[in-house]
Copies of this chain bind each other. A is one copy, B any other.
């Protein structure tokens, strides 16, 4: 697709310039972006009204409509987000493990931007500024491809960011938007091998799957979280209850929310009724295996699919297990590799869980909801990787860099 290739050509050119920029120049440009975003907020709100009107015509409502909607406060929050990213340590140029080889060569690893990053995402327009700022701060050119529901809003935001860039020495093409929101433009981005160094999809399982199947560029998979909490026979009831309520109910629509509760048979009879009571305050529907159903006062029989999917809702699958081995086997079979927690006072059980469960974040006695770039102290995140190469778990600025080996010689040959 012609237009997407042109974005690629522009981005690659901009990336070369960006890679050479100083931390100071990038920081200053980000502050200009956030200022202009506030100054021109009415432009964004007007564009957002168009998207909201179209959404209502198309029958979009509730949470979906709320996610799309921007007001002054949300725009101020977006601007504050850009400022926060501006203030983070610059991840580019760090030189690691410089050393002198026997032959006198001095070699080291210098962190460098990835180059050109593509991001495909769904409705929320705040991703446009978040991802734009993170990629820019890490010296990468970015091509954003948001959802068609937010196209007017995204166009307004990008025009403001580019106007801010025009007041600096940076190319406006440092941050670009795919304005065509057809499926074809999305596929064009996934196969832009000559220009894209990495593609990061941010969205639901359907989007991630489409990207994995179609992409020929390197991809970092993010976000799908079928997270588990296992309550061991040596758990404290109150702690277990607090953790499962928090993991399920504090924000069910996000990827680090728990979807399945596994509970040891020795404590199932004593704990499950208490947990059911606590969860009933949030009207959580329990989908239980036979053993759990026999204890719970109200539940739906769990189907095979219930172990496999992310409900992203007030629904929890519940299974009674006879051992930590059975719990870990279930997790390693069904988990998407995002976040899992054990609740236990048993030292050995906790250690085994940490070591044998193969997920991005593994917890003893804490809620899975902590898997997040801000909570982990990264200051920001571009997404949560559920694959093992390059980055795993929340990705901050350092995860948006690569490195090169720099070698200082004085005539060495091999």
Give the chain B neighbours of A363 by CB distance below 8 A.
407, 409
Within 8 A of B (CB), among A354-379: 354-356, 358-367, 369-371, 375-377
A404 x B366 contact (CB < 8 A): no
Q: When A370-B412, A411-B366 are in contact, do A405 and B360 touch as well, CB less than 8 Å? A: yes
A369 x B411 contact (CB < 8 A): no
With CB as the reference atom, state the residue of chain B lying closest to A328. B16
Within 8 A of B (CB), among A374-414: 375-377, 387-390, 392-393, 402-414
B411 x A239 contact (CB < 8 A): yes
The stretch that binds B, out of A73-81, A142-150, A215-223, is A215-223
Give the chain B neighbours of A402 by CB distance below 8 A.
388-389, 392
Docked complex Cα distance between A115 and B412 (Å): 38
Name the contact of A405 in the complex, choosing from B105, B107, B112, B362 (C-beta under 8 A): B362
A359 x B404 contact (CB < 8 A): yes
Docked complex Cα distance between A376 and B105 (Å): 10
Answer whether residue A246 sits at the interface, using C-beta atoms and an 8 A cutoff: yes
Identical copies in the complex? 2
A360 x B16 contact (CB < 8 A): no
Give the chain B neighbours of A411 by CB distance below 8 A.
236, 239, 242-243, 365-366
Most chain B CB inside 10 Å of its own CB: which residue of A197, A239, A364, A405: A405
A369 x B414 contact (CB < 8 A): yes
Give the chain B neighbours of A193 by CB distance below 8 A.
212
Answer whether residue A198 sits at the interface, using C-beta atoms and an 8 A cutoff: yes
Answer whether residue A213 sits at the interface, using C-beta atoms and an 8 A cutoff: yes
Give the chain B neighbours of A250 by CB distance below 8 A.
413-414
Answer whether residue A86 sits at the interface, using C-beta atoms and an 8 A cutoff: no
Docked complex Cα distance between A318 and B383 (Å): 45
Answer whether residue A114 sits at the interface, using C-beta atoms and an 8 A cutoff: yes
A390 x B393 contact (CB < 8 A): no
Q: When A389-B198, A402-B389, A414-B369 are in contact, do A101 and B377 touch as well, CB less than 8 Å? A: yes
Answer whether residue A332 sits at the interface, using C-beta atoms and an 8 A cutoff: yes
Q: Could you name 16 residue pairs across A and B whose Cβ atoms are closer than 8 Å?
A: A99-B377, A105-B366, A197-B389, A198-B388, A245-B413, A250-B413, A250-B414, A350-B408, A362-B404, A362-B406, A365-B410, A366-B411, A369-B413, A371-B405, A389-B390, A390-B390
**Interface set of A (CB-CB < 8 Å, partner B):** 16, 19-20, 99, 101, 105, 107, 112, 114-115, 193, 197-198, 212-213, 216, 218-220, 236, 239, 242-243, 245-247, 250, 332, 350, 354-356, 358-367, 369-371, 375-377, 387-390, 392-393, 402-414
